[in-house]
A and B are shown apart, each in its own frame.
Chain A
Amino acid sequence: MTLTRTVRLSADNGLHARPAVRVTQLVRSFCCAVEISLDAAGPWIDAGSIVKLMAARLLPGSLVHLRATGTDAEAALAALVSLLGDGPSDGGKPSNPSGH
């Protein structure tokens, strides 16, 4: 089972080091494989890899695509959207692009 979600990174959540650590730890606490991309067509990167997340330099306000495969994919994506986004509405504004 593969599920997909999109979420706009909140102003606090460009994937610089600290949020990248949180995402890695969250993803690795689930069984499913989770990938993240700036484009629905990919390229997809492993959201359980701190190295790849830090290298991706995703900026606050970016719309990111998430996809997860595995039995707990739904719970993993819900937790990730909650961690990364501003909430249920897609209201993130691309402000404070340095994010630090």
Chain B
Amino acid sequence: MNPAAPLEDQLSLVGIVVVSHSADVARGTAAIVEQMVGTSVPLAWCGGDPSGGLGTDVAAILTAIETAWSERGVAILADLGGAELNSAMAIELLPPERQSRVVVCRAAIVEGALVAATEASCGSSLEQVRDSAEAWQP
């Protein structure tokens, strides 16, 4: 942790965003995380395209990032290539000062979200959260 960071930033927890092609998968993943890890970690999810079909939506991802926003950063767990791509596009649309504080984890969505949220709940940095999520191997 950066000792120069303001105290309120040190006390906040990294946020988690779940992005799936399916709203059901995203909602269910978030439910698992919330039940197992608790509600201390900022958590948001989005899934499906704007017409209700399968897909991901950059605007919805942006909203989810804002919902889960933390000064410590936000880790995104995405389920398939398009979700990762649209997550990267959403990050590019963030204000410049926020872009470097959002990362997409290369991890399985359910296990990755659970591991990332657990790590975040312990007060870990964004880098530690991402490293743990990406370290999990079934």
Contacts and interface: CB of A to CB of B under 8 A. Distances in A.
Question: Do A and B actually bind?
Answer: yes
Interface of A: 17-18, 21, 24-25, 28-29, 48-51, 54-55
Contacts of B135: 51
Interface of B: 36-37, 111, 114-115, 118-119, 121-123, 132, 135-137
Contact of A28 (B111, B122, B136): B122
Contacts of A18: 36
A54 B136 contact: yes
Given A17-B36, A18-B36, A21-B37, A51 B123 contact: no
Contacts of B114: 17, 21, 50
Given A17-B114, A24-B118, A55-B136, 6 more contacts: A21-B37, A25-B118, A29-B122, A51-B132, A54-B115, A55-B137
Contact of B118 (A21, A29, A55): A21
Contact of A25 (B111, B122, B132): B122
